[in-house]
Amino acid sequence: EGGGRWNLNNVFQNTPFEGHFYLQNLSEYPGIILNGGFRIDYFNQNRNASANMFDPLATQTTTPGHYPWKPMGFPGEPETEPTELQIKISPRLGLSHPISANALLRFSYGHFYQRPSWSKMLGFPFVNYTTDMTTVLDPFADQITYMEEWQGFYGNPKLGYERSVQYELGLDLVYKNKVKVDFTGYYKDADQEASVITGLFGKEYTATKAYMVSNGGYSDTRGAEATLETRLDKPINAGLTYDIYWSFGGEVGYNKLTEPGSEYIDLPIGLSSSKQIWSGYEKIKGWLSFDLGQGTGPVLFGIKPLSDFHLYAYFWWRSGTPYTYHPPGDLSTRPNNRKWFSIYQVNLKVAKGLTLGKFRTEISMDIRNLFDSKFLRLLYGDQLKYYHENNDLSLEDRLPKNSFSREPDEWEWYTYEVPPRQIEFQLRLDF
């Protein structure tokens, strides 16, 4: 009905606001240090949202606000409701017990709230077919317009904070004020995660739909961490952390919701398919710094070329994601019997300062993913089965093809947990 032209848009036209404040008190008693308080977070999307999430444009003839003289597909003036102010209070508690001058036992407990991204709350994705550039970005213009799914999420006016409750118990040791060792055990219980994506279908028009995000995700993480760091009065210092943890997560909600009165039914998320199995991971993080202060460093032809020179390298490595695959003839039913490829990333920052009188200039270069590493993302379903059962083919032939062109789908092969190499330059002037 729109001819050969499709205009896929997502318009954000709102003025949300947010804020926070906290109250904290540090008290010291014989043998114990108490740090307690609370934090208050609040936000408001600060907009009038359509009262009918299935037809926010009032394009259906049965939706209140649709112009009765217009056919289906033309926007009307939908009924709206103001979004509400959301407020969360987070208690925090920290306890520490000095065992000796070089050892400290600590415990912490707290609630944490995270606002989902504005894009999940304020988006308005729609499609029209006009060639008039003055109305193409107006979803309520007098032209055929429908909500659609291809340009992002339709903002959920009731989307709230994500919540996590965290516990931590640790032991800190210091050796001659030069080496620091930390041992930490932790537990994190999260819910109300903004991860459930639901398709919204009207009762009169079902050819296109919008996707909305809701607070239906949950996760559970527990683990232990050991850290070793140096505090040497020398140019070189380093640190290394080993982390082992177990986690699982899931979702509750709907894959599909239909407007009341529709001939179709809602489709809830299957409990067994949305709840993950406990998975174990290992992670290593490390850093190395090399710092030469102003006026220091080796002398070359009467000058010190490395004076005010700084280098910082950081890397991390994570064990592969556990997954389940049993080849033909394997009668085992054990879940998570394999692990995918491990991944890692190396970052580097180099800075050189130059001081002239009262002015100091610093030029720096920040390289993320220094070696431009890339790693295959975990496959699922038939794609995973095909990958494992065709070892005689080349890697390219075992990986997914584009569903339309059947060409190698390289954009979908690699995980974006390790993005392509990025190089940033910065010029800083201090005076």
> pLDDT for 206-216, tens place per residue?
888 999 999 99
How long is the chain? 431
* CATH fold group of domain 7-430: Maltoporin; Chain A (2.40.170)
- Binned at pLDDT 50, 70 and 90, residue 1 comes out as very low
Q: Is 416 exposed, middle or buried (0-12, 13-18, 19+ CB in 10 A)?
A: exposed
Task: Check pLDDT > 80 for residue 274.
Answer: no
Q: Which pLDDT value is given to residue 3?
A: 53
Q: Which pLDDT value is given to residue 303?
A: 83
Q: Tally Cβ neighbours within 10 Å of residue 31.
A: 8
> Which of 122-131, 220-229, 293-302, 395-404 has the weakest average pLDDT?
293-302
DSSP-based three-state secondary structure for 228: strand
> pLDDT for 140-179, tens place per residue?
999 999 999 988 999 999 999 999 999 999 999 999 999 9
DSSP-based three-state secondary structure for 78: coil
Q: Give the start-end residues of each E strand in 231-323.
A: 236-251, 254-258, 267-268, 279-292, 309-318, 322-323
- Binned at pLDDT 50, 70 and 90, residue 300 comes out as confident
| Cα 50 to Cα 62, 64, 84, 143, distances in angstroms | 15, 11, 13, 19
**Mean of pLDDT values over 293-321:** 90
Query: For the chain, what are the domain ranges?
Result: 7-430
d(CA 75, CA 128): 11
> Which of 98-102, 345-349, 354-358 has the weakest average pLDDT?
354-358
Enter the pTM of the model. 0.80
Give Dmax over CA atoms of the chain in angstroms.
88
Q: Which pLDDT value is given to residue 271?
A: 56
